[in-house]
Structure 1
Amino acid sequence: MHFMNIPGLASSGPQHWQTIWEQQYPALFSRVMQENWDWPVKTDWVAQLQKQISELTGPTILVAHSLGCITVAHWAQEHSSDKIKGALLVAPADADLSKRLNFVIGFAPIPTVKLRFPSIVVASTNDMYATIARSQHFADSWGSEFINLGKKGHINAVSGLGDWSEGKEILQQLAGQRILLSHATGQEKLP
C-alpha cells in the first residue's frame, strides 16, 4: 500500500504530521507538489493531483489535510482511478464559508458527491476553518465515516500533535492493515 499526502494552503511544514510521516516512512509516502502553495487555484491543484495519481503503479490511499481535502473532493467529482483505495480527509477547510475566498480560487462550491472509495473525515470541535457541523456535513455528503477528535484545533502543527499516533491508527484502520508503527527505525510493519 502506498500513501499520497495532499497538503492544504501553504503546504505542510516540518512540524506537521504529514511531513513527519513522510520522513518516518519514505518508502510508503509521497506528496502532491503544487506549483503555488500560497495562492491555490482549484483547476491547477486538481490537475496536479490527477497528474500524480495517473503515474501511480499500485494501490494508494490519499491522505489529505485542510484545503487538500477539498482538492480530493473536486478531483473525485471530475476523475477516477482504480488505484485509489481510500482517503483520509483531515480537517476539511470550509471553502464555501471562507473569508479567504480570494486566496482559494474556484474551490467553492465544495462538491457533495459521494466518493467512489472508502473514506474517513477527521475533524475537531474548535477548528477555525470549519465547524464540526460542517465537517459532519462533508462526511455525510461524501459517504465518509466521521471521527470527532474533540478540541484539536486545525489538526496541524500548531495543534502540537507531533507524529500524531492517533492519526496513524485511523489510517491503519482505513488501510485494513497495520503498517505505520516502527517510526524509530523508519521501517514499515505489516501483519
Structure 2
Amino acid sequence: MIPTRSKPGASDAPTILIVPGLRDHVAEHWQTLLEAKLPNAVTVPPLDRDKLSCAARVAALDAAIGRINGPIILVAHSAGVMTTVHWARHGARQIHGALLATPPDLEAPMPSGHTARDDLERNGWLPVPRGALPFPSIVAASRNDPLARFDRVSEMAADWGGRLVDLGPVGHLNPAAGFGDWPQALELIRELK
C-alpha cells in the first residue's frame, strides 16, 4: 500500500510518485535508487496480472494518485511515460508536474526482445496520446535510445507541451545502458517544484 505521506512533517513538499515501465521494479534502476534517496517518494506498485494492459497500468497509477494527499510530481520512465500520458486524458487529480524520461516510440517497430507493436495495440497502448498535458512536464530524451529516435521524442514533447531536455547519448537510460544512479533526475525534479 502506498502511504499518503512518506515522512511526517513533509506536507508542503510534493510527493514524488515514480511510474515504472513495463519491466516494473529493477533493483539497480535509477527510479528504484531515487525512491530510496527521497523521503517523499513512493512507487506505483507492480501489477500481479494484466501486466501488458495499458488500462490496468493506468488504473494502478490512478489508484496510487488517489492514495496521496497534497501535491504530486510524477517521475515516469519508458512505458511509464505512456501510462502517464494515457492517464492524463481522463485523470481528475491535479498534478504539480511530471518528469517524463526516455519515452519509447510505440508507433515504431520495437527492437528484438521487446513487445511487438501488434501486442501493444491489442493491449490499448496505441495510438499514443498527443494532446497537451494538463500539467507542466519535462521530457528527457536520449540521442541513441534503441526504443525511440530523438526527433520522434522531440515531436512528442512538443505535442505534450513539455520542455525537451537533450540528455545526449544515454541509451534507454536504464541499467543495460550503464545507468543505475541518474543524479540529473534530482535537478529536473527540483525544476518542477
TM-score normalised over the length of structure 1: 0.85
Q: Tell me if 1:87 matches 2:87.
A: no
Q: Does the CA-based 8 Å contact 1:10-1:37 persist in structure 2? A: no
Alpha-carbon offset, residue 22 of structure 1: 1.2
Q: Does the CA-based 8 Å contact 2:51-2:57 persist in structure 1? A: no
Query: Once the two structures are aligned, what percentage of the paired residues are identical?
Result: 36
Choose which of 17, 23, 39 in structure 2 pairs with 1:10: 23
Choose which of 136, 139, 142 in structure 2 pairs with 1:118: 136
Q: Does the CA-based 8 Å contact 2:15-2:41 persist in structure 1? A: yes
Q: Tell me if 1:24 matches 2:42.
A: no
Aligned to 1:53: 65
Report the secondary structure of 2:89's partner residue: helix
Alpha-carbon offset, residue 37 of structure 1: 8.0
Q: Does the CA-based 8 Å contact 2:25-2:46 persist in structure 1? A: no
Q: Does the CA-based 8 Å contact 2:15-2:68 persist in structure 1? A: no
Aligned to 1:163: 181
Measured in 2, the distance between the counterparts of 1:38 and 1:117 equals 28
Flag the 1:112–1:38 CA change in 2: closer, same or farther, 3 A.
Answer: same
Alpha-carbon offset, residue 70 of structure 1: 0.5
Q: Tell me if 1:154 matches 2:172.
A: yes
Q: Tell me if 1:67 matches 2:79.
A: yes
Alpha-carbon offset, residue 38 of structure 1: 8.5
Q: Tell me if 1:140 matches 2:151.
A: no
Aligned to 1:184: none
Q: Does the CA-based 8 Å contact 2:139-2:165 persist in structure 1? A: yes
Measured in 1, the distance between the counterparts of 2:49 and 2:166 equals 27
Alpha-carbon offset, residue 154 of structure 1: 0.2
Measured in 2, the distance between the counterparts of 1:151 and 1:36 equals 34
Report the secondary structure of 2:96's partner residue: strand
Measured in 1, the distance between the counterparts of 2:191 and 2:59 equals 29
Report the secondary structure of 1:78's partner residue: coil
User: Aligned partner of 1:101: which letter?
Assistant: R
Flag the 1:154–1:44 CA change in 2: closer, same or farther, 3 A.
Answer: same
- Give the RMSD, CA atoms, in angstroms: 1.6
User: Aligned partner of 2:157: which letter?
Assistant: A
Flag the 1:58–1:98 CA change in 2: closer, same or farther, 3 A.
Answer: farther
